[in-house]
Amino acid sequence: MKVWLNGVPAEQISVRDRGLQFGDGVFRTMRCSGAEIILFDAQYERLRHDADKLGIVAPTKAMLERWLEPVVGSHGSGPSVIKVILTRGESERGYAVPEGIQPNCVVYAQPVPASGRQWRNEGISARICATRLAVQPALAGIKHLNRLENILARREWDGGEIAEGLMLDTDGFVVEGVMSNLFFVWQGRLLTPDLSRCGVAGVMRDAIMRQQATEIGRFEMETLLQADEAFVCNSVMGIVPLRRIGDKTFPIGSVTRSLQEQWVDTFVE
Amino acid sequence: MKVWLNGVPAEQISVRDRGLQFGDGVFRTMRCSGAEIILFDAQYERLRHDADKLGIVAPTKAMLERWLEPVVGSHGSGPSVIKVILTRGESERGYAVPEGIQPNCVVYAQPVPASGRQWRNEGISARICATRLAVQPALAGIKHLNRLENILARREWDGGEIAEGLMLDTDGFVVEGVMSNLFFVWQGRLLTPDLSRCGVAGVMRDAIMRQQATEIGRFEMETLLQADEAFVCNSVMGIVPLRRIGDKTFPIGSVTRSLQEQWVDTFVE
């Protein structure tokens, strides 16, 4: 795995970096077809939007594209996962941000997980996590580097039988998967949880909402468990049917299959 | 500033470190007299306690002491601030923690802030921050590396007139300062906010509660503003009187001065 820091090859970063010190930054996880990054325009807009929310200056799109050049295609013509980490930069001590701080931008590529095709074809089982997401409107939606809630949730299970965990907020509403966004069909309507109080607003979620009219709302687990079909999504694995949530099983429904159909050339291993 | 990583001199850390990737770790900020670290036993116990809560294996006390040897006294016989960052270690991708992961422990010393003596003698002004702390019992009290709330709060002001910001939780209860814990005297009782829902339980707070009987509770800003005296504390600056919160002024009271008296030989510049 080769890593670039602000366009320069580097495997390491200063311990003064505020990403390490405080989780003071944002990131993107993007799929690369070999030739290009899927949904790159949307990914860049989200990166800039999230950085803006924290008062971090994102690189221009042209600058980021330049930094990504050696990474795109570094896995040959096959697909890869590209990660971009943007931190506020380095400072000496304390939460205060010194004037003139320069952001740090880390980019690298990795192989796509081997499980993708099977997950999209056959679906996955999910557990309902005990770890809840705190309600924090100031950080909601942002893909920031403060991810301890996701890590605690992911530590609730191991082994391959369970592929994803569903997370509720501390008020009991369903929000998302540990590593994905959630959609479900209920009484003929396509629904996805509101992310204005917590959760990460993924680029794939946005793309699906543009594909098909979706109602955003606050839903209880009871509603989700009455769904006719359900799926999770992210930019790396695409659209993955939920076949089981806890003890409840679901069929792979026609809405899920229809949405997948439009991405069949994008998610290829 | 010299830095040690697991006992070896190193200014940098792998970009794979989960501290950078996710804020997956804990830290301590400790005062060193030159010869020894103030309240080291309590600091170590907190580090281990916090790491345990996240499922991170802390180094033994003997190991950490060995790693701290070159740092203690690196500023001569004068005082310094020693920071310890303990992360879960390095992993390739995703929230899941690989088996056999080895924690990373970064230690370094820095000068004590020049403002300490004046703050302890004359007190400081604090603002009431608009940024609220989310209620998350699973992470409450832990000095972890997910500190974006503190950073957003600290970005609400600049300049030297305001030295600290007071933070409320999303339910409206007073919790702490951006970089300190809070105490106040109200109707003759010494009070400090409950930290079981959010906030960082500092070692200096514990020490003060051992010094003098303190009532822990959930208090509204209205109660704090009716206080007879108030102070903030942490392990670096000690006990610092609050002379002003927003528009409200406070005297430096006898309880604050009496508590300070017992630390007069500890906090010396």
Does any domain span residue A42? Answer: yes
CA of B146, closest CA in chain A: separation in Å?
5
Does any domain span residue B269? Answer: no
How many Å separate Cα B5 from the centre of its chain? 22
Each residue's pLDDT tens digit, B50-109: 999 999 999 999 999 999 999 997 877 789 999 999 999 999 989 999 999 999 999 999
State chain A's mean pLDDT as an integer. Answer: 96
A12 to each of A2, A6, A196, B11, how far by Cα in Å? 11, 12, 34, 9
CA of A154, closest CA in chain B: separation in Å?
6
Is B216 an 8 Å CB contact of chain A? no
pLDDT at B116: 95
Q: How confident is residue A35, by pLDDT bands cut at 50, 70 and 90?
A: confident
Does any domain span residue B267? Answer: no
CA distance B258 to B244: 20
- Is residue A70 exposed (0-12), middle (13-18) or buried (19+ Cβ within 10 Å)? middle
pLDDT at B60: 98
pLDDT at B35: 87
CA of B213, closest CA in chain A: separation in Å?
30
Q: Are the C-beta atoms of residues B183 and B175 closer than 8 Å to each other?
A: no
CA distance B193 to B233: 13
Each residue's pLDDT tens digit, B210-230: 999 999 999 999 999 999 999
pLDDT at B112: 94
Residue A31's closest CA among A116, A97, A89? A116
- Among B91, B112, B133, identify where a domain stops: B112
CA of B189, closest CA in chain A: separation in Å?
31
Residue A152's closest CA among A126, A166, A136, A132? A132
Is A8 an 8 Å CB contact of chain B? no
Inspect the interface and report whether the beta carbons of B135 and A139 lie closer than 8 Å.
Answer: no
Does any domain span residue A269? Answer: no
Same domain, B135 and B89: no
For residue A149, count other CB atoms closer than 10 A to its CB.
22
Same domain, B139 and B106: no
Does this model's pTM top 0.95? Answer: yes
Inspect the interface and report whether the beta carbons of A151 and B24 lie closer than 8 Å.
Answer: yes
Does any domain span residue B266? Answer: no
Inspect the interface and report whether the beta carbons of A20 and B87 lie closer than 8 Å.
Answer: yes
Same domain, B89 and B125: no
CA distance B124 to B162: 7
Inspect the interface and report whether the beta carbons of A136 and B154 lie closer than 8 Å.
Answer: no
- CA-based diameter of chain A, in Å? 55
How many Å separate Cα B12 from the centre of its chain? 24
Inspect the interface and report whether the beta carbons of B17 and A20 lie closer than 8 Å.
Answer: yes
- Among B94, B112, B130, identify where a domain stops: B112
Same domain, B21 and B40: yes
| β-bridge mates for residue B27, sequence order | B85
Which of B3, B24, B179 has its CB closest to that of A148?
B24
Inspect the interface and report whether the beta carbons of B20 and A11 lie closer than 8 Å.
Answer: no
Same domain, B20 and B93: yes
CA of B155, closest CA in chain A: separation in Å?
7
Same domain, B147 and B67: no
Sign of CA dihedral B19, B20, B23, B28: positive
Scan residues 141-180 of A and list those with Cβ closer than 8 Å to B.
144-155, 158, 170, 178-179
Q: How confident is residue B200, by pLDDT bands cut at 50, 70 and 90?
A: very high
Q: How large is the average pLDDT for residues A189-201?
A: 98
Residue B255's closest CA among B235, B221, B229, B237? B229
Q: Are the C-beta atoms of residues B266 and B35 closer than 8 Å to each other?
A: no
State chain B's mean pLDDT as an integer. Answer: 96
CA distance A236 to A81: 7
What are the start-end ranges of the E strands in A19-170? 25-32, 80-87, 104-111, 124-128, 164-168
CA of A187, closest CA in chain B: separation in Å?
34
- Crossing angle for the helix pair A61-68 and A40-54, to the nearest 10 degrees: 120
Q: Are the C-beta atoms of residues A90 and A104 closer than 8 Å to each other?
A: yes
The residue ranking higher by pLDDT, B74 or B32, is B32
Same domain, B122 and B218: yes
Does any domain span residue A268? Answer: no
Inspect the interface and report whether the beta carbons of B148 and A22 lie closer than 8 Å.
Answer: yes
Inspect the interface and report whether the beta carbons of A147 and B23 lie closer than 8 Å.
Answer: yes
Residue B66 sits in a domain whose CATH number is: 3.30.470.10
How many Å separate Cα A261 from the centre of its chain? 21
CA distance A125 to B245: 52
Same domain, B19 and B92: yes
Same domain, A7 and A103: yes
pLDDT at B76: 79
Residue B188's closest CA among B254, B234, B247? B254
pLDDT at A200: 98
Each residue's pLDDT tens digit, B122-149: 999 999 999 999 999 999 999 999 999 9
- Is residue B102 exposed (0-12), middle (13-18) or buried (19+ Cβ within 10 Å)? exposed
User: Chain A contacts of B14, Cβ < 8 Å?
Assistant: 11-13
Residue B16's closest CA among A3, A47, A178? A3
User: Chain B contacts of A149, Cβ < 8 Å?
Assistant: 136, 138-139
Same domain, A126 and A22: no
Is B22 an 8 Å CB contact of chain A? yes
Does any domain span residue A267? Answer: no
**Minimum Cα–Cα distance from B27: chain A residue:** A21
Q: Are the C-beta atoms of residues B86 and B25 closer than 8 Å to each other?
A: yes
pLDDT at B46: 98
Residue A130 sits in a domain whose CATH number is: 3.20.10.10
Q: How many domains does chain B have?
A: 2
Q: Which of B3, B95, B105 to mutate to test the interface with A (most CBs of A within 10 A)?
A: B95
ipTM over 0.90: yes
pLDDT over threshold 80, residue A254: yes
pLDDT at B38: 97
Q: Spell out the long-range contacts of B209-218 with Cβ–Cβ below 8 A and sequence spacing 24 or more.
A: B211/B259, B211/B262, B212/B255, B212/B259, B214/B183, B214/B190, B215/B189, B215/B190, B215/B191, B216/B191, B216/B192, B217/B191, B217/B193, B218/B173, B218/B193, B218/B194
Residue A231's closest CA among A186, A196, A185? A185
Same domain, A71 and A185: no
Q: How large is the average pLDDT for residues A109-113?
A: 94
Same domain, A139 and A238: yes
Inspect the interface and report whether the beta carbons of B23 and A85 lie closer than 8 Å.
Answer: no
The residue count of chain B comes to 269
- Among B75, B93, B112, identify where a domain stops: B112
Each residue's pLDDT tens digit, A85-108: 999 999 998 999 999 999 999 999
Q: Are the C-beta atoms of residues B129 and B153 closer than 8 Å to each other?
A: yes
CA distance A114 to A269: 8
**Minimum Cα–Cα distance from A146: chain B residue:** B146
Q: Are the C-beta atoms of residues A127 and A166 closer than 8 Å to each other?
A: yes
Q: How large is the average pLDDT for residues B228-241?
A: 98
- List the domain range (segments joined by +) for residue A122: 117-261
pLDDT at A73: 78
Does any domain span residue B268? Answer: no
